[in-house]
Amino acid sequence: MKKNLIKSWKTTLIGSIIIIASIISVFKIPSINWADASIPLTIGIALLFSPDTVLNKISSVFTKKA
């Protein structure tokens, strides 16, 4: 698990940014509560443990030519 965090640094970085931004938004924006932040937190945690190949698959979906 620790190797995946270091080896897949792109998804780890994106996941960390999402987690930090959602936690900060709960404290800085009064209309956002923990229930609202639960979805980005879940996505961020999933990205922490995902390999970088996930990003390649997602980008291939958006860059597919018809």
pLDDT category, 56, cuts 50, 70, 90?
A: confident
Look over the chain and give the mean of its residue pLDDT values, rounded to a whole number: 88
pLDDT in tens, 26-45: 999 999 999 999 999 999 99
- Tell me the three-class secondary structure of the chain, residue by residue: CHHHHHHCHHHHHHHHHHHHHHHHHHHHCCCCCHHHHHHHHHHHHHHHCCCCHHHHHHHHHHCCCC
**pLDDT on residue 55:** 85
Provide, rounded to the nearest whole percent, the portion of the chain with pLDDT above 70: 88
Give residue 66's pLDDT band: very low, low, confident or very high (50, 70, 90).
Answer: low
